[in-house]
Amino acid sequence: MNYLSALAFKKIKILFLIPFFVSCMQGESSLYDFAMGTAFSITLYKHGQYKVLDEIFTNIKTIENLMSVNIPSSDVSRINAAAGIEAVHVNEKTFKVIERAIYFAYLSGGAFDPSIGALTSLWGIGNDNRNDSRNDYHRIPLQDDIDKILSLVNWRNIVLDSENNTVFLTQEGMALDLGAITKGYTVDRTVDIIRNAGIKRAKIDIGGEIYMLGEKTDKTPWRVGIQDPKGVHGGIIGFIQTGETSVVTSGIYERFFEKDGIHYHHILNPFNGYPADNELLSVTLTASSAMDADALSTAIFVLGYENAGFLFETQPGIAAIFVFKDLNIKMSGDIDFTLTNKAFNSAMQE
């Protein structure tokens, strides 16, 4: 199905607007593809929306080309190459994302830190180009290297000039990595495109970052499955029922390797340089902005359950499902979660 639709979309791009098969007949228009190192799928609940899908596709690629650390000509790569040397002029989209990322770095006391690039390259876990032979994905860095690199991780050393849209990293070797916020940003911009096109209902999934737009035809709530952080991909612990919202998860299962029985994953603790290690397996947030939820879910995952409480006070619209290593589940805020996986225990709403 994915493959066929991807094929269908490519055909459309080549042959100019040949109707989708399969999904068109069901009153839907869908797009499946791959970008930012992850699969994405967009379903518009209206038939024949090829132009909108084309605009969405082009926009996703534009964002990737601006913000990926794996594309040498991207804004982020150019900023990193000029670290300690000079300020770099960037596209206003990139500038806005970095500005928002710095806000969340400030808000989370540095638990979320977009200047974590040198550390993510050292570990090589979160890199979206796994075929890159320069990276050994099963290597634990030397403590000395971690210590050296940690001095290059500090969001306060990102200098923004909003009049000229320039970004300067003050230290040589310092690097941005916007991997914890760009997918959410992309989801939000996709929502904008869909709304502007006058489409009322849609489901967006960019690498597991979801946005349910509008309401179902029969007015029943959307159901969104919550990934089982210990299970196979696609396995769920339960589902939430919700109106329009984004649903974003940060967890230990997305990208990782195991060595000597230890699970090393891609969300790094900027304070000690190691994968965040606390009582959590995953945290799922619902929020009106997927970008905010993306940055916050990473921050909360780094901080852990007890220490992240203050973030909820500053962000009233946000609700969360925490999945713990002891298989307990806790909720925070207004969220309608139904547990279906008997291996887990759901505690009372906080």
Taking the least distance from each CB to ligand ADP, the nearer of 23 and 182 is: 182
Least distance between ligand ADP and beta carbon 72 (Å): 17
Taking the least distance from each CB to Mg ion, the nearer of 113 and 294 is: 294
Which of 180, 237, 281, 318 touches ligand ADP by CB under 6 A?
A: 180
The size of the interface with ligand ADP (CB under 6 A), counted in residues, is 21
Strands of 319-324's sheet in order across: 29-35, 38-44, 202-206, 209-213, 245-251, 280-287, 319-324, 328-332, 345-346
CA–CA distance, 3 with 209 (Å, rounded to integer): 20
Least distance between ligand ADP and beta carbon 237 (Å): 17
DSSP conformation class of 156: G
Q: Is residue 120 a contact point for ligand ADP (CB under 6 A)?
A: yes
286 phi, psi to nearest 5 deg: -115, 140
The CA–CA distances, whole Å, from 325 to 64, 227, 230, 279 equal: 33, 14, 9, 6
Taking the least distance from each CB to Mg ion, the nearer of 246 and 298 is: 298
Q: Which residue has the tokens 């939430």?
A: 240
* Residue 116 binding result from Mg ion, ligand ADP, none, given CB thresholds of 5 to 8 Å by partner type: ligand ADP
Q: Is residue 205 a contact point for ligand ADP (CB under 6 A)?
A: no
User: Is the distance from CB of 117 to CB of 175 less than 8 angstroms?
Assistant: yes
Identify which of 14, 15, 176, 21 has the alpha carbon closest to the alpha carbon of residue 95. Answer: 176
Q: Is residue 113 a contact point for ligand ADP (CB under 6 A)?
A: yes
DSSP conformation class of 207: T
Which of 29, 120, 127, 298 touches Mg ion by CB under 5 A?
A: 298
* Residue 229 binding result from ligand ADP, Mg ion, none, given CB thresholds of 5 to 8 Å by partner type: none
Residue 221 identity: P
Q: Which stretch binds ligand ADP (CB under 6 A): 70-78, 177-185, 278-286, 325-333?
A: 177-185
Q: Which residue has the tokens 């991207």?
A: 74
Q: Which stretch binds Mg ion (CB under 5 A): 16-24, 32-40, 73-81, 176-184?
A: 176-184
Q: Is residue 302 a contact point for ligand ADP (CB under 6 A)?
A: yes
Q: Is residue 104 a contact point for ligand ADP (CB under 6 A)?
A: no
Contacts 24+ apart (CB under 8 A), 91-97: 91/66, 91/165, 92/165, 93/62, 93/63, 93/66, 94/66, 94/67, 94/167, 95/160, 95/162, 95/165, 95/167, 97/67, 97/178, 97/181, 97/182, 97/185, 97/291
Residue 74, SS3 per DSSP: coil
User: Is the distance from CB of 341 to CB of 323 less than 8 angstroms?
Assistant: no
Q: Which stretch binds ligand ADP (CB under 6 A): 20-28, 135-143, 175-183, 215-223?
A: 175-183
Q: Is residue 294 a contact point for Mg ion (CB under 5 A)?
A: yes
Least distance between ligand ADP and beta carbon 220 (Å): 28
Least distance between Mg ion and beta carbon 295 (Å): 6
Q: Is residue 180 a contact point for Mg ion (CB under 5 A)?
A: yes
Least distance between ligand ADP and beta carbon 150 (Å): 12
Interface residues for ligand ADP in 236-265 (CB under 6 A)? 250, 254
Q: Is residue 186 a contact point for ligand ADP (CB under 6 A)?
A: no
Residue 42, SS3 per DSSP: strand
The size of the interface with Mg ion (CB under 5 A), counted in residues, is 4
Taking the least distance from each CB to Mg ion, the nearer of 33 and 254 is: 254
Q: Is residue 35 a contact point for ligand ADP (CB under 6 A)?
A: no
H or E segment and range at residue 98: helix 92-107
Least distance between Mg ion and beta carbon 184 (Å): 6
Residues in contact with Mg ion by the rule CB under 5 A: 180, 294, 297-298
